Amino acid sequence: MDSFTTLTGIAAPMPLVNIDTDMIIPKQFLKTIKRSGLGINLFDEMRYDRDGNELPDFVLNQPAYRDSQILVAGDNFGCGSSREHAPWALLDFGIRCVISTSFADIFFNNCFKNGILPVVLPQDAVDALMEDAKNGSNARMTVDLESQTVTSSDGTAFAFEIDPFRKHCLMNGLDDIGLTMEKAPLIDDFETHMAQARPWI
């Protein structure tokens, strides 16, 4: 998993509430167990018409936002059914940070496991960042995990809270497997001891 320290990039405004996981990645794309290749189908039903043509009004189809790395969204982002494919699709598209007033718990947890930073801010801060994001590719936000701030293009900084353990994992690129591998020497010692103490196992 790639580490997350500081991100400066284009933020796409998506002022919709209750964006659920089926909107993020529709169910017909859940057959794969690969984490790559889902970005093309991110927000599929909002991005394309029935013939597969891009809908020009959708924010991520607009030239200014095609390379967005930050998403500023409405309340209760990632609600609905539990599917880890949702953060996989966001990450494969290039989104490394989602900013909202609240997230569904399972989606929130899955973001951290996949190198995406979900930032919770009060409504007035999200509103200000949403307006900033509407300025397009000329407005770049900076998300600094070390200082726990989101800074708008005009220099206004908004502080956010994050669990220290999750912060450590993101900054060091540690998913569940990475955390386990940190204990590899202890695991090896245990296995060696067990092999000597109980050779019949």
Q: What residues make up the domain containing 68?
A: 6-197
Q: What is the pLDDT of residue 22?
A: 95
Domain membership of residue 1 (yes or no) is: no
* Residue bearing the bigger pLDDT, 181 or 185: 185
Cβ neighbors of 85 (< 8 A, separation 6 or more) are: 21, 25, 29, 30, 32, 38
Position 42 in a domain: yes
Average pLDDT on 151-160 reads: 97
Decide if 35 contacts 114 (C-beta within 8 A): yes
pLDDT of residue 178: 60
Which one has a higher pLDDT value, 199 or 176? 199
pLDDT at position 33, please?
73
The pLDDT score that the predictor gives to residue 176 is 66
Task: State residue 34's pLDDT score.
Answer: 73
Q: What is the spatial distance between Cα 32 and Cα 146, in angstroms, rounded to a whole number?
A: 34
Q: How many domains does the chain have?
A: 1
CATH of residue 159's domain is 3.20.19.10
pLDDT, mean of residues 175-180 = 63
**H helices then E strands: how many in the chain?**
8, 7
Residue 126 has pLDDT above 70, yes or no: yes
Is 139 contained in some domain? yes
Task: Find, among 148, 69, 158, 151, the residue nearest to 121 by Cα.
Answer: 158
Q: Among the ranges 34-38, 39-43, 138-142, 190-194, which has the highest mean pLDDT value? A: 39-43
